A and B are shown apart, each in its own frame.
Chain A
Amino acid sequence: MGLISWTLLIPLAGAGLMMFIPGRNLKDGEGASMFGWIALIISVLAMIVSIPLLTGFENGTAAYQFVEKITWIPEFGLDYHVGVDGISILIILLTTLMMPFAILGSFKYIQKRKKDYYIWLLLLEFTMLGALVALNLFIFYIFWELMLIPMFFLIGIWGGPRRIYATVKFVLFTVIGSLMMLVGIIYLALMAKQQLGAFTFTFSELTKLNLPIQPQLWLFAAFALAFAIKVPMFPFHTWLPDAHVEAPTAGSVILAGVLLKMGGYGFVRLAIPMFPQAAVQAAPILQLLAVIGIVYGACLALAQSDLKKLVAYSSISHLGYVMLGMFALTPEAIQGAILQMVNHGISTGALFLLVGMIYERRHTREIADFGGLAYRLPVFSVAFMIITLSSVALPGTNGFVGEFLILLGTFKGAWAYFVAQASIFRLVLMVLASTGVILGAFYMLWMVQRVFFGPLENEKNKALKDLSLREMIVLVPFIIAVFYIGVAPQGCLNKMEASVTHYIAEYQPDVLKQYKIDPKIEHAETPAETELHEPEAEAHH
């Protein structure tokens, strides 16, 4: 059994084991906290097992690595077929690394039915990882749908007052999308039988299918709908704020950190490679929706009075950037988009943790109930400030690297279209998208000002306690990640480079391929460039 299978098995088996430990209705004082510790140990084990995936990952190749393939039902082309490449590796690691902290972050928040809670959390990890490593479309679909079930219970049982409304909405929205995808999958399998002579669901086989443009467009639409709802893109986003607000802290963290990434991952892994012409045709529409999402999400974040809702709407805005970059189809933008998925997981995940911490203390999330907290909670405020800066993409933090690469690459693509077709549509989109950097600073800093600055007037806030050691341990890794990716992102970028380069070679539209930068610069003598690769070089002219 390979590394990937172990990574999958540990949370699954751990959840299974926990089922046999009695104590479902134990209260806090009666030893219920042991379930939290058991879940923590299991998730840490999964994390440890997944680390060799990263350290043993070969940067130079676009091929799938750590591949495992076990034939299941050969007649229908159903195999247990898993592997990782540069596109999935970082998100997988994000999942396994984040899970222990999400669990540690819920120790205090969850007070009822602890056993069930941690079992669902581990199962959620299992299903998400499964979807990320699957190389067989059918297996992918199974995991994709399975993911809903743990989330359904996590929100439905441990959620806030309107949890039933939120869960139903969340499940209905996603299921409608998935059903369209299922139809598409069946159609694809039939096409495979027709063209290749046998049923197959293997990704790499399916991309070889020769699909006429009309069915391609329909299939792309079916897949895109499923993924766009998951991202979520405007106008399919309204389930997200409700789900976030009602979900328990760890649920929100995982939802924002990993679950939403499935949408973006689906686009880059499936929708674009399988239906490349359709994707290129649809790119302007998706980019338009992405830009609407950026601006619209930011405006809505501005209008919120609830901290968690504000963060939820900011997610919509941030994921707009991811989608914008993904459909720019330039290497800079795609790498930026993948990195930004990770970044968003880090910064928004941390924001939800922080909001959860303040909620545990005050049992309110209304911005108006706070004010002047910086004076009372200095450590909490510093952590919040750093994550806020990452969220507004301040240079030096991870958010900047992602956003910058996305905007830079998207602009390059837009410019190529402008030069080739004299169409300014994409350039206009770009300018609108860039206004997001202003709006982002506006709603985040306005919120910070109302929550942390000003006089400390509310009596209830005067008795608040600053972060405990456990809470600091939860937050520190996020803060380290913020600066590490911000200052030295090349390690992450190297992982995905080969895969993305390969990807670009296959799927980039001709307009972009043919675009060349002004040739005059290539012959220009530029002193800085010649010294670029020699560290410590000093130029004496």
Chain B
Amino acid sequence: MELFIIVLLPLIGAVSNGIVTVINAARGKQVWGEKTAGVIAFGAVAASFVISVYMVFVKLAHSEAISQTAYQWMAVGGLKLSITFMLDHISAVMLLVVTGVSSVIHFYSIGYIHGDESSVRYFSYLNLFVFAMLLLILGDSMPLMFVGWEGVGLCSYLLIGFWYKDEEKAIAGKKAFIVNRIGDFGFLLGMFLIFANIGSLTIADVNHYFHANPGMTFFWINVTAICLFIGATGKSAQIPLYVWLPDAMAGPTPVSALIHAATMVTAGVYMVCRFHGLFLAAPIAMHVVLWIGALTAFFSATIAIFQNDIKKVLAYSTVSQLGFMFMAAGAGAFAIALFHLMTHAFFKACLFLGSGSVIHGMSGEQDIRFMGGLKSKMPHTYWTFLVATIAIAGFPPFAAFFSKDEILWNVFASEYGNKIVWVIGAIAALFTAFYMFRLVYLTFFGEFRGTHEQEHHLHESPKTMTVPLMILAVLSTIGGWIGIPKLLSLGFIPNVLEHYLEHAVSKYGEVHLHHYSHSIEYGLMGLSVAIAIAGWFFAKRKYAAIKGQLPDPATYKGISKLLYNKYWIDELYMKIVVNPLKSLSTNVFLNITDKRLIDGVANGSASSWGRVAMMFSKLQTGNIQSYGFYMIVGAALAVAFIWIIF
């Protein structure tokens, strides 16, 4: 019952605001406006959060899982599906992160969306997103998860294209949906493979089956896992399907923070953790996850270094951080993947909301080349942004230090890990620190490079926006403390997270770490800190004391040109996939096969029959002599025929 309330509250918010949007539009007057809409939306999510806290800390405190069923959804042949929600320790972590961060961002949105004519619609979409996300998290079977999975994709589509009058934004939304659909295609095939083999699609059955020495062959187990992972690369923006996420920044900034940083994009990571029973039975797939994660982390970090749009930098940073999470999952450290997912939700939401505050203050400007010196004008935004930057860069004792260090350690030491991947990850971490501090220096330090008008309007954002920033900054600072490794705390501070997830993620197979001495472990940890410092140092040297205008990207040459243009991957996809498909459809299928070939045969046979008939109709002359002649010829032929036969 309680789980249903958690899920349904945001839906009620979404539907009521949605209906009001339609009525407002149809009748031309307001049933209720942005204030009420905002309060309803925030209230629904906040209530969900409160009930979630109760469920996780009270009801789930002494049990491994709670599952609640509503009704039978589809029961056909061998398929038995019900609407059942399951809360276990894995979904509990995700549930708290999502409802918690959502509440903060809904609150922020009230200030952010103020004055927009479509604010009611905005809150409706935002609530609908939370509803879909909760379905994804709590659904106990793959199809129910898939409902949420595509539902969040829909909301992402709607929210990216929220300001649809700008066609660019509508196109970005569409792109997100279609690229996600490519991933979903993989998810579906994986689901079908599982169903054809085990006849059940509940998460528990799937994990159990693959853990308990399955009858499926090694090859097909790996294929299944890779199919699911294709789904994850779509949703979580990994190579080769990451291209939609940077474009998704066209949406309102709170949406970028909530959907395209903190929650939805982590669904792929969550899914891999959810099905760890399957992935642990598929070592090749684990390597794929590890490598794709590492390569994505690395390449998107390189792109982030050369972007000038404040949100684009953060977008590529998100892609990169998601890569880190997949590295953890690929190394078998599922708890650590979830740990980084959580810390990332805090600091990246903080960064995005901070960027929203900056853009707000800059009257819509997003290009960091025209910022600078905002430190004194927007102190709250600056401080919170700085804290989150320190956190993502990996300085102790901020959140990401613990999670990122654990990821690198696991990649280094796990039986699924790999030293080369570790090196790639370490370099990506260095780049992370570098591009983040570049962002901070260019935005908040030096002298102001924008127009006078912008300088005149420059102001700190209202409380509704800065308070959420502070909350998230605090979480970015202390969020990592629930996962302090024993090596550092020497056993004095318990590793709460590890302890909490321990059983849930090792239920279907343990992952062994190779044995290394403590000194190596300490050494690697020190190296992590050194990397963060190095990144900060280089960024400071290059950008702290910048004077005058920054170069136009059009003048970029060589590697910076390549990276600024994101390796021209979008253009490549257009050239080799989208355009050929369109031209094949129009030039071959429509104009040749359909019009010439099929219709040609059909119409051709009709008209040739017509011609034959015309030919015979010429015999009907109306002339008695001709008819007489035909009769004689006919009779003669008949006689000849009979004569030949007999």
Residues in A lying within 8 Å of B, measured CB to CB: 169, 172-173, 235, 237-239, 296, 299-300, 302-304, 330-332, 335-336, 372, 374-375, 378-379, 382, 389, 394-396, 400-401, 404-405, 407-409, 411-412, 414-416, 430-431, 434-435, 437-438, 441-442, 445-446, 448-449, 452-456, 466-467, 488-490, 493, 497, 504, 517-521, 524-529, 531-532, 534-541
For the complex, what is the distance from the CA of A412 to the CA of B196, rounded to whole Å?
Answer: 5
Closest to A532 in B: B82
SS of A interface (majority):
helix
Q: Give a binary string over B162-197; 1 marks a CB under 8 Å from any A CB, 0 the rest.
A: 001111001101100110011011001101110111
* Chain A-chain B contacts (Cβ-Cβ < 8 Å), number: 240
| Chain B hits for A430, CB < 8 A | 189, 192
Other A-B pairs, 9, CB within 8 Å; known A405-B79, A456-B165, A539-B67: A331-B77, A389-B154, A411-B193, A412-B192, A415-B193, A437-B184, A448-B174, A453-B164, A517-B196
Given A299-B581, A517-B78, decide whether A539 and B174 contact each other with a Cβ distance below 8 A. no
Contact (Cβ within 8 A) A396 B147: yes
| Chain A hits for B204, CB < 8 A | 526-529
Q: Give a binary string over B601-627; 1 marks a CB under 8 Å from any A CB, 0 the rest.
A: 011001000000000000000000000
Contact (Cβ within 8 A) A524 B205: yes
User: Can you give 8 contacting A-B residue pairs, CB < 8 Å?
Assistant: A172-B606, A303-B582, A395-B146, A445-B174, A493-B74, A493-B75, A517-B196, A521-B198
Task: Determine whether B423 belongs to the interface, using a CB cutoff of 8 Å to chain A.
Answer: no
| Chain B hits for A411, CB < 8 A | 189, 192-193, 195-196
For the complex, what is the distance from the CA of A396 to the CA of B62, rounded to whole Å?
Answer: 34
Given A411-B193, A524-B212, A541-B63, decide whether A452 and B164 contact each other with a Cβ distance below 8 A. yes
Flag the segment in B320-328, B526-534, B586-594 that touches A: B586-594
Residues B510-533 near A (CB distance < 8 A): none
Q: Measured between C-beta atoms, what is the minimum distance from B313 to chain A in Å?
A: 27
| Chain B hits for A400, CB < 8 A | 147, 150
Given A437-B185, A454-B170, decide whether A526 and B77 contact each other with a Cβ distance below 8 A. no
Contact (Cβ within 8 A) A536 B1: yes
| Chain A hits for B203, CB < 8 A | 528
Q: Which of A238, A335, A408, A412 contacts B599 (CB 8 A)?
A: A238
For the complex, what is the distance from the CA of A445 to the CA of B171, rounded to whole Å?
Answer: 9
Residues B105-160 near A (CB distance < 8 A): 140-141, 143, 146-147, 149-151, 154, 157
The number of residues on chain B lying at the interface, defined by a beta carbon within 8 Å of a beta carbon of chain A, is: 88
| Chain A hits for B141, CB < 8 A | 528
Task: Determine whether B553 belongs to the interface, using a CB cutoff of 8 Å to chain A.
Answer: no
For the complex, what is the distance from the CA of A528 to the CA of B582, rounded to whole Å?
Answer: 46
Closest to A538 in B: B66
For the complex, what is the distance from the CA of A172 to the CA of B204, rounded to whole Å?
Answer: 56
Given A303-B589, A379-B22, A493-B76, decide whether A526 and B205 contact each other with a Cβ distance below 8 A. yes
Q: Which of B64, B69, B149, B171 contacts A531 (CB 8 A)?
A: B69
For the complex, what is the distance from the CA of A375 to the CA of B161, rounded to whole Å?
Answer: 13
Q: Which of B154, B164, B205 contacts A529 (CB 8 A)?
A: B205
Q: Which of A466, A517, A540 contacts B197 (CB 8 A)?
A: A517
Task: Determine whether B489 belongs to the interface, using a CB cutoff of 8 Å to chain A.
Answer: no
Interface centre among B149, B193, B200, B203 (most CB of A within 10 A): B200
Q: Which of B69, B214, B216 contacts A535 (CB 8 A)?
A: B69
| Chain A hits for B75, CB < 8 A | 490, 493
Q: Which of A336, A395, A449 contacts B171 (CB 8 A)?
A: A449
Interface centre among B22, B65, B150, B192 (most CB of A within 10 A): B192
For the complex, what is the distance from the CA of A490 to the CA of B73, rounded to whole Å?
Answer: 6
| Chain B hits for A449, CB < 8 A | 161, 167, 170-171, 173-174
Task: Determine whether B99 belongs to the interface, using a CB cutoff of 8 Å to chain A.
Answer: no
| Chain B hits for A431, CB < 8 A | 189
For the complex, what is the distance from the CA of A424 to the CA of B22, rounded to whole Å?
Answer: 50
Task: Determine whether B488 belongs to the interface, using a CB cutoff of 8 Å to chain A.
Answer: no
Task: Determine whether B213 belongs to the interface, using a CB cutoff of 8 Å to chain A.
Answer: yes
For the complex, what is the distance from the CA of A389 to the CA of B191, rounded to whole Å?
Answer: 22
For the complex, what is the distance from the CA of A406 to the CA of B161, rounded to whole Å?
Answer: 32
| Chain A hits for B471, CB < 8 A | none
Q: Which of A169, A412, A441, A455 contacts B177 (CB 8 A)?
A: A441
For the complex, what is the distance from the CA of A521 to the CA of B68, rounded to whole Å?
Answer: 23
Closest to A297 in B: B589
Given A303-B589, A332-B79, A539-B63, decide whether A521 and B209 contact each other with a Cβ distance below 8 A. yes
Closest to A330 in B: B77
Q: Measured between C-beta atoms, what is the minimum distance from B208 to chain A in Å?
A: 5
Contact (Cβ within 8 A) A299 B584: yes
Contact (Cβ within 8 A) A395 B76: no
